[in-house]
Chains A and B, each alone.
Chain A
Amino acid sequence: MAGLTDWGWNAGSQAVWFWVPLAVLLLYLFRPRHRLQPVAAAFLWRRVQDRLGGQSLWRRLQSQRLLWLQLLFCLLAVLALMRPYQVRPGLVAQQVVLIVDRSASMAASGRFQEAVQEARQLVRQAPAGCEFALAALDNNLQMLQPFSSDRVALDGLLAGLRPLALGGQDERVAPLVLSILKNNPQAQVHWFSDHSLAQVQCVAHLFDQGRINYSIDSFQCSGQQLLLAVRNYDAQAAQLQLRVSGAGDFSVDRTCSLRGRGRQLLQIPLTGGQGPYTARILNQDDLDLDNHAFCLDPDSAPQRLLSQEGVSPFLEQAAQAATGLSLLRGAADVKGIHLWARLPEGKLSGGRHIACAPPSSWVQSEFEDQGSVLLTSSLQRQWRFRVSGQRWGKRYLIKSGLAEAVLVDSSGQPLLVEREGALVWLFALENSELPLSPDLPVILSSWLQAHQDPAQAMRAGALCGSRVVVPGPSPMQVTGPLGAFALEQVEWQPDWPGFYHFAWGTLAVNFYAPEESNLDRPKLVAGPPPTAADEVQTRPMSQEYVRPLVVLALLILLYEYRCWWGSKRS
């Protein structure tokens, strides 16, 4: 049956409406009929009929409860079929283009469902005569429907959209949008994604609406005061609770109000405190990524990095290269810049994946160095830094000039960047919640287990940053910076955090689409300013009729069944 696998259902969810013909069929089967009933005297019933006929029309109708129920049912059904809508303020264009991002990252945290729901609501609330076009973006840009006023078909197409385990190519969107705007300047383009479309600023987009995401952008010590910059990534206002603590009993609580997206600088005078200092956002957010920051006194002594068992050698190398500090190995209770990598799933809360994190305190005593690290000239600098995690990918554009790559992988992708005086460890956004897919290219991050054989460890570390498509539980060839390696007996565990066990040890895998690691952005295209007044939230009306319609249909069924059964019983 070749070829049959190519077809499918665009709007499979619409199958739930099969109950309507079923209900009609049941109504037909159980419809009330005039059953023959012999009686002793028909003249009495004739008098009853004459009396009923002699009533006013209104009183005759009053007794027909079944008729009223059916009329109400029909009325509601007609109203629902007319698909009433409320025109969304601001949506005044006659031609609207909907571009839905269904790349892999949209599958996380229900973003895709929110995007589709937003798009469907937009369609419902559009004024009459509005034409819609629908395009979907994955590793390709597909025009699913050209301009059409058939909203039912469009709604079905939107309902049938599913996220794919593919990386999105945003650069394909810009030419389409620009060509549309060139031919029809009055058209509106709506971009449904979890990030903005950087090339075209006029496109309204869905950008993590309703999510909570705060961060500490920078945290520095000038000797007399602490300078703390906090950022709100969300459109809604936030009141942040911050706590800054230092050595001893130094602790300061501050409240910071941020009106929507933006950044605010706080100055905290130092009154006898001593570093190192820790700043923390006490508000709960959905990522818990950048809500910690650390800084030293300006004249602090050189510190060392502490590494624990299980920390990725690659991470050690990266942090060491970035900071220029000596690396120590010690237990968790040893003070120092603690590094830790991805721990086994049971030791971390779900959804929180920290690739590198800063210490809780700093080294106070000397330890034996584990050896120096070869640093480039650009890394021979004195760092006053913080180490933080940053979501990586197109979602937060690491533009050239804004962040300097400190460490790159074999394909040139930045892994550690310097940004605003801080050292930022990048990890792919898709690390968070994506299911494992054999079709998704992966990056081999690091070994997690130390090896007895230094050569083996070297070989393992050489695989860092290699990109490969894992085919499944079969042998695969991985090419790293230092050569090719054959991995055999890979145990395929289709769940994150993609640990792969084989003869050598355990391999940790970060997932991302290669297209999303491309930081070479084309130059921004200037466009008209985005339209305002799109923030009004209105509710689609047609969906509200579904439940009363179902309830009424059941009532009618029950009533007619009662009549039918009552007449049959007698």
Chain B
Amino acid sequence: MPELLSSQLRARLSPLRLVSPHQGPQTNLAGAHKGRRRGRSMEFAEHRDYSPGDDLRHLDWAAFARSERLVVKEFESELERTVMVVVDFSASMSEPKRRLALSCAAAFSWVGLLGQDRLGLATLGREARYHPPVRGRGQWGRLMDWLGSSHPGGRADLPASLKSLVQRLPRSSLVLVLSDWLEEEASSALAFAHHRKHQLALLQILDEPDRSPPWLGPLRLEDIETAEFRQLSLEDQTLSFYQQALEQHCQSLRQQCGRLGFHYHRCAAEAQPEEVLLRQLVERGWLA
């Protein structure tokens, strides 16, 4: 299996961290990510007036001596985050799309493990596989071996697969889905994930035939996953209509992600992983 992520790219990715779209993790396990509630970390957050019942150990006696007011010191909470990288291995993912998806998945895994996240992997397609979250950068090679052993093909069925997947994850997990997102009912999975308080990041990878089909003439266009077919005579107007339909679908995904607070980014399968990871996703705020 070819190397999914070069050592040079790994070195350039090392200082970056995965950024959740809008909110911190909601878990009881201590970790490296700042939570929304006050916790027990070493980082001071603020003073609060004492209320009966507060732990007396948190009283700031120095402040009492200066101001004769009883105030309690509060600290930031540092919690653990679960990151799930989902890679679409279905038949619709052509070789360029799958190659870029694997590179991005390896990069996300590397960055996540370096950021002390609990990182899991899942694949969609003929065999929907799930690797439970692990910690530590030493697990990265094992995860890549697991990822490389997946076989492409089959149907992804994004809505059903994502629904079953997000149910396994702890709340407020960061789920990165690397797919072409060419599913008609994909938006239903987004709503369910939002309901489960998860944070989704959608990386939509489209290749050249997806964006502007090069075919002309009468064709039997058959869905490679569902075998649904349409017989059309492709001409300039038909291709124009197709591009409008694709743009409408992508726009719908983008709007729903924006409404739910999810990450969404569309990239070309022919783009280099360095370009996608270090420029596009950094500019979009996925990596910081």
Q: Hey, which bits of chain A sit against chain B, CB under 8 A?
A: 32-49, 51-52, 63-65, 562-564, 566-567, 570
Contacts and interface: CB of A to CB of B under 8 A. Distances in A.
Contact of A52 (B184, B220, B238, B248): B238
A37 B223 CA distance: 9
Contacts of A566: 215-217
Nearest to A65: B235
Given A52-B238, A52-B241, A40 B218 contact: no
Greatest chain A CB density within 10 A among B92, B220, B231, B246 is at B220
A40 B232 contact: no
B217 A32 contact: yes
A32 B238 CA distance: 17
Given A42-B230, A45-B230, A49-B230, A35 B238 contact: no
A233 B230 CA distance: 76
A63 B235 contact: yes
A566 B224 CA distance: 21
B210 A40 contact: yes
Given A43-B184, A44-B182, A34 B228 contact: no
B181 to A, nearest CB: 9
B217 A39 contact: no
Given A41-B92, A45-B232, A35 B223 contact: no
B220 A40 contact: no
A46 to B, nearest CB: 6
B51 interface: no
A564 B234 CA distance: 11
18 contacts: A32-B217, A32-B233, A34-B218, A36-B222, A37-B220, A37-B222, A40-B92, A41-B223, A42-B221, A43-B182, A44-B249, A46-B228, A47-B245, A65-B235, A562-B216, A563-B216, A567-B216, A567-B234
B238 A567 contact: no
A47 B223 CA distance: 14
B281 to A, nearest CB: 23
Interface size class of B (residues with CB under 8 A): 35 or more
B217 A567 contact: yes
Residue among A33, A36, A45 facing the most chain B CB atoms (10 A cut-off): A45
Interface string B176-189: 00001011100000
Contact of A48 (B92, B94, B210, B245): B245
B242 interface: yes
Given A51-B245, A570-B214, A42 B226 contact: yes
A65 B246 CA distance: 25
B219 interface: yes
A570 B222 contact: no
Given A32-B217, A48-B230, 17 more contacts: A32-B218, A35-B219, A35-B220, A36-B220, A40-B223, A42-B221, A43-B228, A46-B230, A48-B242, A52-B241, A63-B238, A563-B217, A563-B218, A564-B217, A566-B216, A567-B219, A570-B214
Interface in B81-140: 92, 94
A48 B214 contact: no
A557 to B, nearest CB: 14
A44 B238 CA distance: 11
B146 interface: no
Nearest to A51: B241
A247 B24 CA distance: 131
Interface in B240-286: 241-242, 245-246, 248-249
B216 to A, nearest CB: 4
